[in-house]
Structure 1
Amino acid sequence: MTDPLVAFGDSPFFLHAHPDDESISTGGTIAALLRNDVPVTILTGTRGERGEVVPGELESLEGTELLGPHRVGELADALGALGEPAHAFLGAAPARASGRPERVYSDSGMRWGADGFAEAAGDASPASLSLAPLDVVVDDVLAAAFETRPSAMVSYDAQGGYGHPDHVRMHDAGVEVARRLGIPYFAIVEPRAPGSGLEAGMNDAAADARTDGALLEVDLTQTGTLAQKTRAMAAHRTQLSIDGDTFVLSGVQRHPIGTVEWFLRVF
């Protein structure tokens, strides 16, 4: 059987919108790549300062200026659990275009739409990631890419997984950068998204992709990195809690910890 990790090449670049996304959606794959001595770079778009906080001792951080810095610390702990991939925040060196002052892209916030997908909250700051001009975001991602010479871009699908506007912005920038560099783009297949079909089995599109070889399946029981992924997720204490083989989000949504991570090669 062909090792699915080979498809990412020798220096994959993961684009994520907020701290915790890297662990929930791709943590096992990142850990497996690092175990195989493949250097991984993670670029995080925001500090997640508008995230909802799980009930408990950290709940008082929600809506305050302290949440963003706290989540930066959680991210550092999570990256340590995954094996210390290279990391940068969008807008800060090396992920800032030459000649531009560093900036902080703020979390755009979200609300749940009637269709079960996230949508823009309606009160995003002018400094938010989702409202930043796409060409500016692309230039910043390119600046980081020129430093690492990535072999592949890995980020969200066109809907941002479950619809978050910051996810969509990172997808749009990642696709453009991958096209300019002439490298593959892999979209994360998000099993929590409504209609994905992955909780119970592949939907039609994913099944077709599996047949033609465009769908990568990284089985964490085979890579031996499920425990690392779980520890990394647990580091994001403001955002989720681990309960056995499930995790619980701030809205009390309970999901299984993914033992398989799927990626769809877009081009």
Structure 2
Amino acid sequence: MPAKQARVREIASQALPPFLLGPNHTKSNALHDIEFVGELHRWSNFLRFVENEIQGQRWSTKVIKYTHRLGNPEAESQVIGDETGLQGVFSHSVGFMVGKILKAQSIDLEFADFKCLGNHYANTPDSILMTKNVELKVVGELKVPWVYEHEMCEAYEEESMLRYLLAQPIKYMKDLNCMYGFMSNYCETIFLRQEFIAGRWIIDYSPVVRASTSYVKTDMADLQATPVVSLRQCFLAVAALAQTQGPVYNTTPNSEWVVKLR
């Protein structure tokens, strides 16, 4: 039986495949002992921005994936038990697939390991998006989803938890002069943006985007409707913003940005 062709727009709109948790797995909290103490705001109309971006795309008709008609081999996920395994799943379902989407849409960004930058930064972020000219545009951090402290929907409603959860990628963004970032446990992702507004630097954070969510088109005229977008679409929209953004130079003292927990 011939394989089914999947084109760019279809793959972008799909939910991520699930993974299987192994019987033996890490149980410890991997968040750094730091917190963000700067100004924190919800990223206004983030989901609407993503849907506007995907509706405005001139979609390539390129086939970027083939699937069996009797099932989707991508859904036959590997069994994982630690952050290294999670990074592998993320690298394929997000990094590889979103990379193919970005290439097809002529967006000059690709997922890469931080070491590819050749930067002598003392820390090693888990994931980045960079240009072909090796310019950093987005920096991200990954944690396993089965540890309570890494759960994003819980933290989203409690600011003190959120400041602890997001501190690591926020620190990377400032240190590396990068406007955009993200924190992900694969199942849940929050996107970040640092901006200079009214004489001060702030961090905007998106709603929690679930990996299990597929795109559902909304009536763009209904401004009260909450768009339902996929994680891949969110990465596409943020990448489209980030590709033309140069370095940002946040001069906020470290004591007023990210500090060690007391």
Do Structure 1 and Structure 2 share a fold, with TM-score over 0.5? no
TM-score (norm 1): 0.31
Q: Which has the higher contact order (CA 8 A, sep 6+)?
A: 2
